[in-house]
Amino acid sequence: MILVTGGAGFIGANFILDWLAASDEPVVNLDKLTYAGNLENLAALAHDARHVFVEGDIADRALVDALLARHKPRALAHFAAESHVDRSIRGPGEFIRTNVEGAFTLLEAARAYWSALPQAEKAAFRFHHVSTDEVYGSLAPEAAPFTETHPYAPNSPYSASKAASDHLARAWFHTYGLPVTISNCSNNYGPFHFPEKLIPLVILNALAGKPLPVYGDGQQMRDWLYVSDHCAAIRRILAAGQPGETYNVGGGNEMSNLALIKTICALLDTLEPRADGLPYARQIAHVADRPGHDRRYSINARKIERELGWKPRETLASGIEKTVRWYLEHDDWVTHAQSGAYREWMARHYGGAHA
């Protein structure tokens, strides 16, 4: 049995689906079901006894203690987080509560549980903390990609809150011996990605005939990682990662936001042409850049390849095509994900034309 936090979100849900496709080991899934937590992501497991869902908050110490005592997991994979930079700029408090206080609560609960385990189970236990490349800050155009020893320099409330949780996880290993591993990943994409994020936003706005918002000049560079590749990396870290170690996980697919949007438009031109026959790229609309927008992220993932034998299977071309096709084939999921609070927030953030 493993315990997963945030397993109804984008990456967490993909991880659980991939885990149970590859293994019969059960999963306890603790998720608060905030706006981005969607049990519909896990509809395929609705009648699967290997998936035990618990609605709750990672900051609820009594609940976490009770789950650990009842289910006795051999590992905890911590995905739960507030993760959208724009939301963190408008409302940083919830990011501090979930990403910092929630991580602290989990670490303390895990430490108490782990300390009481028999020696063999204690040695085998793992606490894996999932983080982001954004903790490293912004890279210059000519700079080498981030390695695991790159100094932290977070520039948004979101990345600062994740940096704080990384430091807590590292400290709980060095101070208390809790067998923690950490991964810092690049930008994920793929099925079940919440529609406020760049790739699904572009796909869905394009199909709806709406503007495709591009921050500033659109030359912000990102390394894109297909979500199933990320899930495979975490499975490998849980299986063979060394306590106290950090592993950078990247797709090796660096591209500017504007080029990525044009790539998606070109795919849609082929897979779902506009009724008028015009290219989707004509819907691109540049908007004011967001405050503190990091210019470039790039991941050096050689450590995890060298030490654990992991490397991504998907290229950006293959992963983007799979992603676009998934959204074209899952209208019901999209409709449900775009209801209520999501539409209201998008209208406030981008204005009516970009909602």
Per-residue pLDDT tens for 159-174?
Answer: 999 999 999 999 999 9
Residue 277 within a domain: no
Residue 149 within a domain: yes
Residue 212 within a domain: no
**355/339: higher pLDDT:** 339
The mean of the pLDDT values for the chain is 93
**What pLDDT was estimated at residue 353?**
36
Strands 187-189 and 75-78: unpaired
Residue 103 within a domain: yes
**What pLDDT was estimated at residue 229?**
98
Spatial CB neighbours of 46, under 8 Å, sequence gap ≥ 6: none
Residue 161 within a domain: yes
Number of domains in the chain: 1
Residue 301 within a domain: yes
Which pLDDT tens digit goes with each residue over 85-95?
888 898 999 99
Across 134-142, average pLDDT: 94
Residue 323 within a domain: no
Domain span holding position 104: 2-190+224-252+293-314
Q: Which CATH number goes with the domain that contains 299?
A: 3.40.50.720
Say yes or no to pLDDT of 111 above 70.
Answer: yes
pLDDT above 90 covers a percentage of the chain that reads: 85
**What pLDDT was estimated at residue 344?**
57
Distance CA 260, CA 224 (A): 10
Q: Catalytic site residues?
A: 133-134, 158
**What pLDDT was estimated at residue 58?**
97
Say yes or no to pLDDT of 345 above 80.
Answer: no
- What pairs with residue 284 in β-bridges? 212
**What pLDDT was estimated at residue 197?**
87
Which pLDDT tens digit goes with each residue over 53-91?
999 999 999 999 999 999 999 999 999 998 778 888 989
Strand order in the sheet with 187-189: 187-189, 221-226, 254-256
Residue 107 within a domain: yes
